Structure 1
Amino acid sequence: MGETDLIVILGPTASGKTRLAVRLAYELNGEIISADSRQVYKDMNIGTGKDLHEFEINGTSIPHHLINIREAGEKYNIFEFQQDFERAYTSIKAKGKVAVLCGGTGLYIESVLKDFQYTSVPIDENLRVELAFKSKEELTTIHQQLTSSYSGLADTSTIKRLIRAIEISTYLNKNAHDFHSLPQVNAFIFGIDISRELRRERISERLLKRISEGMIEEVQQLLAKGVSMETLVYYGLEYKFIAQYLNAELDYETMLERLETAIHQFAKRQMTYFRKMEKDGLTINWINGEEPLDEQLRVLVKTIKQ
């Protein structure tokens, strides 16, 4: 393992990253930390693709973290993920085991690799009122006059994002002591790469399989438990479109068609984000996800041990 103390396995939906992560954790005496923004919720199993049976291998249950840690209906954000990751990572390392971070939420993964410290900055309503009627040019000038550790990182492409950038920089200048760094990790990052055609085929097959396994009933149960339509729409993809179908906003065929298209688009956005991570300086070692699982594992272990 050398100096590496975190192994990351990322990939788009339906790429097979969980199976590979479980096999790796089994081989290296590791535990898995999930980097999935929806698998944190209880009772959202089929739609989020938890596939918890995959964590059982040769009679051994691979320990996993950050799955089923929030009630369905709650909101979960990147700052909470960073805190939960730190606790899980510290616990795994204290046991002398290997931490394997696995998921498809690129922002979450990047946030712990680059130690983003800005997501916890609270909203400043007074400042927002003060800035509300300023032009983009005026906001740009204000932002340029602020110097903070965030200034050069901010996305200032829209008025809304400019206001948030000013809000963050203003807060950091007044409260720099409020932030502590996440553990410094020396990560080995692997990405699962499959062709667009195979990815689309897997997504389409998996969608029909999940519906046959009770995904629509899962959404019905969430509604019956008091999870609101608005929250299900917020969770997106399966929960959004099935909720709209159950609310008679879409017929079955339209729901299925729109959901399938949305999942394909989501997978494409995931890959775009991973490529952005590379452009921003993170090295991702890509593995051919179309190879047999044993071959993927062999390549991964060989790369780690080099």
Structure 2
Amino acid sequence: MKVKFKLRETKTSPDIRKMPLVVILGPTASGKSALGVALAKKFNGEVVSADSRQIYRGLDVGTGKITPKEMQGIPHHLLNIADPRKQCTVAEYAKEARRAIAGIYKRGRIPFIVGGTGFYIDAVARGAIYPKVPPNRALRKILGKLAPATLLHRLQKLDPERSKTIDQKNPRRLIRALEIIKATKKSIAPIIIGAPYNTIFIAIRRDPQELRRRIQRAVVRHIDRGLLKETKHLIRSGISRKRLADLGIGYRSAVERVDGKISRAQLIGKYVAGDWRYAKRQMTWLRRYPDIHPVTTGNSVNSRRGKRWDQKSPVETTVFGPNSNGVHWIRNKTEAAGLIKNFVNRDQKAVPRKR
């Protein structure tokens, strides 16, 4: 289905509030990238990545970055645009994402945001603004001497909600969270200024056992495809071991393997356990998303091994949006496509074409 849009120009800026934006969410290894490509192909779209690690150049294997072959000719944005030596902030990501989305609209296509980084998605799709707090070097020096468990305990006391979604093994993120709380005297809650686009959200939810198996397979695949070689190259290029540890459990564990501190089996075990913790944090964030309503699914999730999004796989998917009544449970790509078709057709009628 080919859908084309034209922006209604005003004296100040294009009217984007009625333009459709599709957001595909889900935990790591759930199949977001494949679904994004399939739907973007069907609806004349382009993909905007919302992954806080895939945004960096050179972090390919360890982040499970989609390959050119897997893209199937669909343009992908916000991959490989940042220097891994420096932290890319939420504000920087949001600025680039909005620029990419504007370009997609100008080409008459539909943007699909695909990813699992909640801060990124909130900033773009919900208009979330996070507090700008400059680094507190003195505080960082003090907190840097504490173990992650101690930092987490402090965060749990000050901001219980944030402690559930943060990387609990990552001292840099824990210290930053405490730094913001100390500066603002309140929890790390964004200011929501309202959705700048007319957005529909599709959230993939898999059976926990199946998701864990998918994580296991993904970890082994990353190692077989050259995770250790990539890690060595990143170290030789000047990225510190400490920085690599901040870039995810995969690189954190790979550094230990490269240094001879753990075996291959231990690498796999730590990597799988870390990604599983990350997936649970992502699901926790997803459950607290304001548009989601709790639904009892019973035993309706029964994914089959080896199925892909271009087949009728009984993967359970939640679809919710600003104009939806509750939650729609989508069993496969075909049903998701039907919902998006209705969504974009409605918005195509709502947006006046430029005369």
> TM-score category by the smaller chain?
0.7 to 0.9
Secondary structure in structure 1 of the residue aligned to 2:61: coil
Secondary structure in structure 1 of the residue aligned to 2:129: coil
Distance 2:106 2:294 in 1: 27
Secondary structure in structure 1 of the residue aligned to 2:128: coil
User: Which of 244, 266, 277 is matched with 1:265 structurally?
Assistant: 277
The structure with the largest helix share of the pair is 1
Secondary structure in structure 2 of the residue aligned to 1:9: strand
Q: CA deviation at 1:254?
A: 2.6
Distance 2:255 2:138 in 1: 37
> Is the aligned partner of 1:300 residue 2:315?
no
What CA deviation, in whole Å up to 9, does each residue of 1:190-226 have, x standing for no partner? Answer: 0111111111111112211221111111101111111
Distance 1:223 1:238 in 2: 14
Q: Once superposed, which parts of structure 1, at least 4 consecutive aligned residues long, lie more than 6 Å away?
A: 124-128, 283-289
> Which residue matches 2:23?
8
Contact 1:47 1:210 in 2 (8 A): yes
Contact 2:77 2:100 in 1 (8 A): yes
Distance 1:19 1:71 in 2: 26
The within-5 A match list for 1:221-232 is 221-232=233-244
Contact 2:139 2:179 in 1 (8 A): no
Q: CA deviation at 1:55?
A: 4.1
Distance 2:301 2:198 in 1: 23
> Is the aligned partner of 1:21 residue 2:36?
yes
The within-5 A match list for 1:1-306 is 3=18, 5-57=20-72, 61-123=73-135, 160-166=179-185, 184-277=196-289, 280-281=290-291, 290=303, 293=309, 294-295=311-312, 296-306=332-342
Letter in 2 for 1:162: I
Secondary structure in structure 2 of the residue aligned to 1:199: helix
Distance 1:47 1:252 in 2: 15
Letter in 2 for 1:41: Y
Distance 1:91 1:218 in 2: 32
Distance change (3 Å), C-alpha of 1:188 and 1:264: same
Letter in 2 for 1:272: T
Distance 1:182 1:83 in 2: 16
Q: Which runs of 5+ in 2 are unaligned?
A: 6-17, 141-153, 159-176, 313-331, 343-355
Distance change (3 Å), C-alpha of 1:127 and 1:42: closer
Q: CA deviation at 1:249?
A: 3.5
Distance 1:225 1:104 in 2: 28
Secondary structure in structure 2 of the residue aligned to 1:204: helix
Q: CA deviation at 1:18?
A: 0.6
> Which residue matches 1:131?
none
What CA deviation, in whole Å up to 9, does each residue of 1:225-254 have, x standing for no partner? Answer: 111111101112111111122223434333
Distance change (3 Å), C-alpha of 1:225 and 1:249: same
* TM-score for both structures, normalised by structure 1: 0.76
* TM-score for both structures, normalised by structure 2: 0.66
Distance 1:45 1:91 in 2: 25
Contact 2:231 2:255 in 1 (8 A): yes
Contact 1:55 1:62 in 2 (8 A): no
Distance 1:125 1:257 in 2: 35
Letter in 2 for 1:233: A
Letter in 2 for 1:290: S
Letter in 1 for 2:44: N
Contact 2:126 2:195 in 1 (8 A): no
Contact 1:121 1:168 in 2 (8 A): no
Distance 1:124 1:72 in 2: 22
> Which residue matches 1:132?
none
Letter in 2 for 1:253: A
Q: CA deviation at 1:167?
A: 8.9
Distance change (3 Å), C-alpha of 1:124 and 1:47: closer
Secondary structure in structure 2 of the residue aligned to 1:14: coil
Distance change (3 Å), C-alpha of 1:165 and 1:120: closer
Distance 2:91 2:241 in 1: 25
